[in-house]
């Protein structure tokens, strides 16, 4: 498992992007920003907060109870600000990092309760110049007792009103009058549980298939965490072979990854610039987390149309004409034609002489 990480990207332009990726249990969340930050956020921890966490919400609550999660917002500018407050359910990206500030493209089928649906945020919050304001986010726990944890994040991002929004009719949705300014965002983690007992993870390999990552060919192995628990300090090693062969075509190993509760990891095995070739393959994959280990072997097929489509869009593959082999082919063809013409002419001459 990783400690929390704070990424600061300051461009030379006027855009500042600050995102906070929160890693739980062994770290705390840092909620300060750069001197140029427009606003600051501090969580006010409730009585239900567990003692081993200080700067993100980690609450122990009974089923069907509510908790008010308070955040203090400070406008550091001498002008009004508008902040958009949204809730999200944690998932695992293909780098083996847990995402808290946005949603997965598709919710995991094993997820019984999405914490984003259990959190009621105020949505749009307006701050006056240099104003300090405390907002409430209401967490409503599921009616049924559950084991493990629910995990997600509360994202706070500056928005700006579109030009001419004063002239927009009252019936127009406010969200259409606001646009995200990719300047400054906080993500405050949220973990909720009914009981403190830990749960051992259980991983399965769902699929292996041809794929692309950043327009580069990869084999993706979908590893699924079906339980409501984190998978910490995850190591995955994958080998790809042709079916019936012991030769390793491609191999990848990555350590210190983390998986969110009830989520999948599409683990990429790079082709290192090679083209996909259609045919039957076998993936041998091993994973470990603490004392837990898993091993899988899975056969899969790359279809010719898939290989062609991926190869055409891979930016590392040279799609220009290969003159080094085209020129010899053309020369051989020309020589063949010349030889055939000479033989034909010789035969004609021979026939003329006989007549």
Output the pLDDT for position 51: 81
Question: What pLDDT, in 10s, does the model give residues 18-35?
Answer: 333 333 333 333 333 445
User: Which of the four pLDDT bands, split at 50, 70 and 90, describes residue 162?
Assistant: low
User: Which of the four pLDDT bands, split at 50, 70 and 90, describes residue 133?
Assistant: very high
Please, are residues 14 and 39 in contact by the beta-carbon 8 Å criterion? no
Query: What residues contact 335, with CB distance under 8 A and at least 6 apart?
Result: none
Question: What pLDDT, in 10s, does the model give residues 235-280?
Answer: 999 999 999 999 999 999 999 999 999 999 999 999 999 999 999 9
Strand partners, 234: 257, 289
User: Which of the four pLDDT bands, split at 50, 70 and 90, describes residue 42?
Assistant: very high
Which residue's structure tokens are 């990555």?
A: 254
Whether residue 100 has pLDDT greater than 60 = yes
Q: If you average pLDDT over residues 214-243, what whole number do you get?
A: 97
What does the DSSP assignment read for 272-302?
A: TTPPP--EEEEEEEEEEETTEEEEEEEEEEE
- What is residue 162's DSSP assignment? P
Output the pLDDT for position 355: 60
Which residue's structure tokens are 């292996």?
A: 208
Output the pLDDT for position 326: 66
d(CA 88, CA 109): 16
Q: Nearest CA to 33 among 187, 162, 180, 163?
A: 187
52 vs 16, which has greater pLDDT?
52
Output the pLDDT for position 337: 87
Give the residue extent of every domain in the chain.
5-193, 203-313, 323-355
Please indicate whether the domains covering 5-193 and 203-313 agree at the CATH topology level.
yes
**CATH code 3.40.50.1820 for 203-313:** no
User: Which of the four pLDDT bands, split at 50, 70 and 90, describes residue 333?
Assistant: confident
Instruction: Give me 255's structure tokens.
Output: 């350590």
The CATH number of the domain covering residues in 5-193? 2.60.40.10
């Amino acid at each position: 498992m990783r400690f929390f990480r704070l990424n600061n990207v300051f461009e030379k332009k006027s855009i500042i992007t600050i995102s906070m990726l929160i890693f739980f249990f062994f770290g705390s969340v840092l909620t300060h920003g750069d001197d140029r930050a427009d606003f600051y956020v501090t969580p006010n921890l409730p009585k239900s907060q567990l003692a081993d966490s200080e700067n993100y919400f980690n609450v122990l609550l009974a089923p069907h109870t509510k908790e008010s999660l308070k955040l203090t917002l400070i406008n550091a500018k001498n002008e009004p600000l508008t902040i958009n407050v949204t809730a999200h359910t944690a998932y695992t990206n293909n780098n083996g990092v847990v995402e808290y500030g946005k949603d997965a493209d598709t919710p995991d089928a094993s997820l019984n309760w999405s914490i984003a649906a259990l959190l009621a945020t105020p949505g749009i919050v307006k701050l006056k110049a240099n104003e300090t304001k405390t907002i409430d986010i209401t967490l409503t726990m599921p009616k049924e007792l559950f084991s493990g944890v629910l995990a997600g994040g509360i994202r706070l991002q500056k928005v700006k009103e579109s030009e001419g929004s004063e002239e927009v009719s009252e019936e127009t949705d406010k969200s259409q009058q606001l646009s995200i300014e990719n300047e400054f965002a906080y993500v405050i983690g949220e973990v909720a549980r009914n009981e403190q007992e830990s749960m051992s993870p259980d991983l399965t390999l769902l699929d292996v298939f041809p794929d692309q990552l950043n327009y580069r060919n990869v084999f993706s192995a979908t590893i699924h965490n079906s339980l409501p628990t984190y998978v910490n300090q995850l190591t995955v090693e994958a080998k790809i072979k042709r079916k019936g062969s012991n030769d390793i075509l491609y191999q990848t190993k990555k350590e210190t990854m983390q998986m969110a509760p009830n989520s999948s990891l599409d683990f990429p095995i790079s082709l290192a610039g090679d083209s996909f070739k259609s045919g039957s393959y076998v993936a041998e994959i091993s994973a470990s987390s603490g004392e837990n280990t898993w091993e899988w072997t899975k056969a899969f097929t790359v279809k010719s149309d898939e290989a062609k489509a991926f190869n055409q869009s891979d930016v590392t593959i040279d799609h220009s004409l290969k003159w080094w082999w085209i020129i010899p082919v053309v020369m051989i063809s020309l020589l063949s034609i010349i030889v055939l013409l000479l033989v034909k002419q010789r035969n004609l001459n021979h026939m003329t002489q006989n007549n």
